[in-house]
Amino acid sequence: MEYLRAENAFTEAFMQPLEALQEAIYAEIRGRIKEDDNTVPEKEGDYYYYVRFEEGGQYPIYCRRQGSDDGQETVLLDVNQLAEGRDYTRVGAFRNSPDHKLAAYGVDFDGSEQYTIRLLDLETGQTLPDAIPGTYYSIEWANDNRTFYYSVLDEHQRPVTIYRHLLGTDPAQDALVYHEDDARFFVGLGKPKLTLVEPRAVDFEYDLADHGDRFFIRHNGDDARDFQLATAPISNPGRGNWTEFMAHEPGRPLLDLDAYRDHLVVACRQDGLPQVMIMRLSDNDVHYISGIEEEDFAMSPRGGREFDTTSLRFSYTSMKTPAAVYDYDMDARERVLRKQQEIPSGYDADRYDTRRIWATARDGTSVPISLLMLKGTPVDGSAPLYLYGYGSYGLTMEASFGITALSLVDRGFVFAIAHIRGGMEMGWDWYENGKLLKKRNTFHDFIDCAEHLVAQGYTSAGRIAAAGGSAGGMLMGAVVNERPDLFGCVVAHVPFVDVLNTMLDDSLPLTTMEYNEWGNPNDAEYYRYIRTYSPYDNVRRQAYPAMLVTGGISDPRVTYWEPAKWVAKLRDMRTDENPLLLKIHMDSGHAGASGRFERIKEVAEEYAFILNALGLAT
């Protein structure tokens, strides 16, 4: 702790001359937040549930209205009150009972992602005495309105057990429902009756949507790498009774599905862009939500609370278009805008330009890059550029609007997202070719994207600020070891940089299940391969760019000692005198600060560091 406090003091002293710049950036970003805001209410029975914020409030307030979405408001849970006197507060799951009389929620007060479940009487507003510590994100009510199910963390902080709780009883007596014995898997909760549909098998994945007397099943069997759809009777849902419903189409990954009474909604991607497919079940007529005019965007359906409806809610955004929520009539094929993100300080989308360009990686693969810039930004190599990347776990980095990015773009930056392999932007193969013994493709893609942006005149070597967090922090560590000359500075948030040592320690929360992502280094082949890129193990005696590295003292995903020991080794090995800063957040975990304004302070600090490193701190 003494060492970490010394590092924090060093960082604070370095950043002190930049306080005015940090405060200016903070004020800009906060000015773009509509502080008294709310989500669009979601209908369930006679109630409309939503979350809102009050002006000056750091935390959400859970509310509902009865009878209509403009009826009288009832506050269910004010997280600002829960957070009084605390440095960190986050509510995970919040679930109302089927009769709308009770709610269960999980709360974490230190960022460790260990939640304590509490119960609310929604008619009186009183908190019930039941309290269940050591839980994870999953909570589901039974139909008796007196019982709920929840997931519990084991001694290694893995969610592998499900229990059942009856209101008013001692949690120590809760019934064990399910325990996962295979350390490679976590377990979650859904509402259907606990039934084995099909036994697990290597490289086989499926999930279900309930549709009355049948399941719709999304699966990758029969070499359907980007998934196909089948149906099966709920009464006998095993794979022997699966009937093909929607064929596999390579390059069109089926990502998620929701079943309504008359329609099936499938989230998918085509040519790397998100699409919402809607099928009318009476005749299997398929259409897509249309009217998209931008060349790069993000769009997704938002699963509703009701089954018997023709209304689908979906969200749309792009890097220059503030997030919008629509209600879409699946029969009439018409949309109604329910809400669009407001920017109180003012915003004119016509001032900005978004582009989708393609870089050619060293093995010939075309890699998409999303760009945001002010119109008129010179494309002659003179502009600074912020390049973000992730590329792991099959997660897609969407080209969505962000109020923070504008503070760089308005200062002349090109803001870029490299959609590198290891994500799912271009389908399952895109993921498979960026994991295990092909993981180095992820790092090569990022470097090749940076070089392409230089070659096309969007920036120049040494004018790039590279940034990533968690597995994206590992990306930062790998690319800065390999090509430090490309980057003017690097920001690595909660970086997974001690890959080899972590994956050899199966007592850590994520190690065993992440053998599927990185490989098990107890196998010599994987040991040798991970050893070639693990950032901590490949720090070299060379010059490094300016670097800002963060961690969280309560982080269960990337333990704080990973960034700490990486920075220590960089200090020992580097041959440069560039700034090298470590900041360990002493009151939070993997996600950083819990309050919405405290998070802005962290971004303002990052951006001030970048502007200073690139000689633009004015």
* Residues designated catalytic: 470, 555, 590
Element (H, E) at 475: helix 471-482
Helix axes 596-613, 2-15, angle to 10 degrees: 70
Handedness of CA 252, 258, 259, 260 (dihedral sign): negative
Tokens 């393609």 found at:
358
Q: Give the up-direction half-sphere exposure of residue 605: CA atoms within 13 A in the CB hemisphere.
A: 24
How far apart are alpha carbons 567 and 480 in whole angstroms?
Answer: 13
And the tokens for 488?
Answer: 């003017």
For the packed helices 440-455 and 524-533, what is the interaxial angle rounded to 10 degrees?
30
Strand 352-360 with 366-374, pairing = antiparallel
173, 187 Cβ separation under 8 angstroms: no
Geometric angle at alpha carbon 394, from 393 and 399, rounded to 5°: 120
Residues 6+ apart with CB under 8 A from 112: 157, 554, 555, 556, 589
Which of 342, 326, 411 has its CA nearest to residue 372? Answer: 411
Closest CA to 325 of 79, 33, 50, 76: 50
551 bridge partner residues: 584
CA torsion 108-113-115-120 (nearest 10°) is 60
Measured in residues, the chain has a length of 618
Sign of the Cα torsion 127, 131, 136, 138 reads negative
Residue 462 and residue 484 in contact, taking contact as beta carbons nearer than 8 Å: no
The 3-state DSSP class for residue 345 equals coil
| Cα(518)–Cα(435) distance, integer angstroms | 6
Q: What are the backbone dihedrals phi and psi of residue 570, each rounded to the nearest 5 degrees, phi first?
A: -60, -40
Long-range contacts: 518-524, Cβ < 8 Å, 24+? 518/435, 518/436, 518/439, 519/436, 519/437
User: Residue 568: what residue type?
Assistant: A
Q: How far apart are CA 94 and CA 148, in angstroms?
A: 12
Who's near 50: CB < 8 A, 6+ residues apart?
38, 39, 40, 41, 42, 63, 64, 65, 69
- Least Cα distance to 426 among 364, 487, 366, 502 occurs for 366
Radius of gyration of the chain (CA): 25
